Homo-oligomer: A and B are copies of this chain.
Amino acid sequence: MSWNTFGRVLRFTTWGESHGPALGAVVDGCPPGLELTEQAIQPFLDARRPGQSKFTTQRQEADRVKILSGTFERRTTGTPIALMIENTDQRSKDYSEIANTYRPGHADYAYDAKYGFRDYRGGGRSSARETAARVAAGAVARLAIPEVTIHAYVVQVGEDRIDRAAMDLETVGANPFFCPDPQAAERWAALVDAARKDGSSLGAVVECVASGVPAGWGAPVYAKLDADLAGAMMGINAVKGVEIGDGFAAAALRGEDNADAMRPGRDGPEFAANHAGGIAGGISTGQPVVCRVAFKPTSSILTPVDSITRPDADGISKATQVRTRGRHDPCVGIRGAPVVAAMMALVLADHKLLHRAQCG
């Protein structure tokens, strides 16, 4: 089933393919009266934009956002906000040879199995280019949660992790890896460059922290804040794992080590730790909301991999090998950081409004 809408009351719907004329998002349910201009959205798209260093795909896209509806005299009106980003550097010919071959690790085979055919140019709808629309929508969502500050950064590339002791969020913007550890950023430059030259690719882990979320957002059961975050993050292209707070490490802890002790504070409790990642029973606790997201290495690599051809008229697939020659990110997780931040903003804004609906 096609289901391109996300959210419960602050909802957005995205559309567009990698090689169509444009892609976009419609943001619905945004509160009225917020100041919104194209200039306010653009920096978020620029952070995600390809072609800015040799460490990302060389596709050149300006990713200029246009606001087509929903604002009047620079303010949101409460009606749907249509955002459009035109595709400018498409080069469809790069993809012509894969029209009849399934790229292992990509959605090619699954799409054909579902729909009977597919737009094979650059992955069509399954292209990570779709995430530009989410980033634009996320910029709108941030307006609805001015009390919240969101940081997303890469904590692992391949097997190489940052040094937590050296972590400095101020340095995230100073390198092309959204890396909060300057020394790790230097190592990653070599690592990613080597992978690029090898025609290989690397996985990564992105961490995202939202500060300023008050206690009380979320729901006891199926619209839990953590459940919605997990769905949001796992829905990003190439993501294979999501953790809240201590995540998988919590499975190895004992109860007394995992408890977040409290003591009375000025504005609610002060917590001795944040193993829970700011969410208990599906509801925010007032601590920072923390999640980590694992990206697989992109499947677009130069090493030949065994595969099969599209079934012919008789339903017969033949053995073949696939090398992916297009322009790709050697480490797709890096540009995932702004997308993770956008999804965090969208989930939090939705839950703020949901909380307000029920609890006034």
- A79 near B228: Cβ-Cβ < 8 Å: no
**A221-B104 in contact given A255-B200, A308-B262, A357-B1 (Cβ < 8 Å):** no
**Cβ of A132 under 8 Å from chain B:** no
Q: Taking A26-B15, A111-B281, A111-B283 as contacts, is the C-beta distance between A125 and B77 under 8 angstroms?
A: yes
**CA–CA, A45 and B214, complex, Å:** 37
Selected contact of A159 from candidates B11, B77, B226, B252, CB within 8 Å: B252
| Chain B residue with Cβ nearest A20 | B69
**A41: interface (CB < 8 Å):** no
Within 8 A of B (CB), among A195-248: 195, 200-205, 214-224, 226-235, 237, 239-248
Q: Which residues of the partner chain B approach A244 to less than 8 Å between Cβ atoms? A: 234, 240-241
Interface pair B124/A72, CB less than 8 Å apart: yes
Contacts of A30 in B (CB 8 A): 2, 358
- Looking at A30, A106, A118, A250, which has the most chain B CB atoms within 10 Å of its CB? A250
Complex interface: chain B residues within 8 A of A115 (CB): 32-33, 77-78, 359
Q: By the criterion CB–CB under 8 Å, are B234 and A283 in contact?
A: no
Alpha-carbon distance A181/B261, docked complex (angstroms)? 36
Shortest Cβ gap from A246 to chain B (Å): 6
Q: State whether A216 and B113 are in contact (beta carbons under 8 Å apart), knowing that A22-B68, A235-B227 are contacts in the complex.
A: yes
A259-296 to B contact mask, C-beta < 8 Å, 1/0? 11111100011001001110111111110000000111
- What are the residues of chain B within 8 A of A359 when measuring CB–CB? 31-32, 78, 114-116
Please tell me the number of chain A residues within 8 Å of chain B, measured between CB atoms: 157
Binding stretch for chain B, among A167-175, A182-190, A347-355: A347-355
Other-chain contact of A13, B78, B80, B231 (Cβ < 8 Å): B80
Question: Can you report 23 residue pairs joining A to B where beta carbons are below 8 Å apart?
Answer: A2-B221, A3-B29, A5-B28, A9-B354, A13-B80, A75-B117, A77-B119, A79-B119, A104-B260, A107-B220, A109-B285, A113-B216, A114-B217, A221-B235, A240-B277, A241-B244, A250-B294, A253-B297, A255-B301, A259-B305, A261-B305, A263-B308, A356-B360
Further pairs besides A1-B358, A226-B239: 19, Cβ < 8 Å: A1-B351, A3-B221, A17-B72, A17-B79, A107-B220, A107-B283, A113-B214, A114-B215, A158-B252, A224-B234, A226-B240, A230-B234, A240-B276, A250-B295, A255-B300, A255-B301, A263-B307, A269-B308, A356-B360
A-B CB proximity, top 10 nearest? A107-B281, A231-B231, A3-B223, A227-B235, A1-B354, A201-B255, A230-B234, A113-B215, A203-B251, A357-B357
